[in-house]
Amino acid sequence: MCFYIYVFYDFKLYAESLLNFYYLIASILGLFLWQQKSQQKISKTTKQGWMIAVGILVGSFVVLFFMLNQFTDSTVPCLDAIVSAFAWAGTWLLLKRKLENWILLNISNLIAIPLQFYKGLELTSLLTVIYVVIAVLGYKEWKKELELSNHI
User: How far is C-alpha 12 from the geometric centre of its chain's CA atoms?
Assistant: 19
What are the residue ranges spanned by the domains of the chain?
2-33+47-150
For residue 38, the model assigns a pLDDT of 63
Whole-angstrom distance, CA of residue 131 vs CA of residue 148: 25
pLDDT of residue 150: 83
H-state helical runs in the chain: 2-10, 14-33, 47-71, 77-95, 101-118, 122-150
pLDDT at 149: 87
- Rounded to two decimals, the pTM is 0.92
| Residue (of 52, 151, 32, 62) closest to 98 by Cα position | 52
- What is the rounded CA–CA span in Å between residue 98 and residue 143? 10
Q: What is the mean pLDDT of each run of 10 residues along the chain (152 residues)?
A: 89 94 89 75 96 98 98 97 98 95 98 98 97 97 93 66
